[in-house]
Amino acid sequence: MDLQRTVPWGRDFDEYSEMFSLSSLKAGDTVIGCGDGPASFNAEATSRGICVTSVDPLYTFSRAELEQRIEQARNEVMPQVRAKVDDYIWQTIESPEELERRRMQAMRVFLKDYEEGCRAGRYIAASLPKLPYQDNAFDYGLCSHLLFLYSPQLDEELHIQSVLELCRVAREVRIYPLVSIENNQRSGHLPAVLSALAEVGYHSEEVPVSYEFQRGARAMLRIST
């Protein structure tokens, strides 16, 4: 896995709740978050009693190293956002300045929780398409801003194997967004992934969600296994 292909950039619990329509998630539910990176979802969910395990190759790094990589990402991402403001819907997040504040706040919450979370086994260094868990180990498998978004970098076969692996370890899988980073259009990998899911008898549907920041990203993929 080449870590240069995706950037460490983290969202917060409220954004995860909206992207994945998580209003029914409750204390005691078990969740695997694939590619959670420096999101504060795990830290905030843990404080609500939800049992989240985050899996990401980034977690081989120390807190200090991650802090440095986050700073680098901030310097790369923010100029790109400002150069392409029309690619985003500035409603809930009203401006690039607010975006930067909100993302940096989420990543500070992550960094504060990181070492304790590693000791508790909540941050695990591993990568799709292979997850170190038994079948049906989790109630929910979530994947935010990795699969489908990075369609040019991650090929079709990796998408198929990764989605099937998520379905192996979780009873229900939710993936957001379904649009590609290159053009904000529906990922070209979706048809092959949907037919691979149908072939093994999983039910999948594209469900509209209330969250839209990247223009056109208005739906998640929900798969019941």
Ligand X SMILES: C[S@@+](CC[C@H](N)C(=O)[O-])C[C@H]1O[C@@H](n2cnc3c(N)ncnc32)[C@H](O)[C@@H]1O
Q: What is the largest CA-CA distance in the chain?
A: 45
User: Can you tell me the distance from the alpha carbon of 222 to that of 172, in angstroms, rounded to the nearest whole number?
Assistant: 7
176 or 225: whose CB is closer to ligand X? 176
* 84-143: contacts with ligand X (CB under 6 A): 127-128
115 or 155: whose CB is closer to ligand X? 155
What is the DSSP annotation of 96-133? Answer: HHHHHHHHHHHHHHHHHHHHHHHHTT-EE---TT--SS
Q: Taking contact as CB under 6 A, which single stretch among the options 21-29, 32-40, 133-141, 195-203 is the one that binds ligand X?
A: 32-40
Contact call for residues 169 and 32 (beta carbons, < 8 A): yes
Nearest to 185, CA basis, from 219, 223, 142: 219
8 or 141: whose CB is closer to ligand X? 8
The site map against ligand X for 54-83 (x = CB under 6 A) is -xxxx-------------------------
The site map against ligand X for 36-55 (x = CB under 6 A) is xx-x---------------x
Contact footprint for ligand X (CB under 6 A): 1, 3, 6-11, 34-37, 39, 55-58, 127-128, 144-146
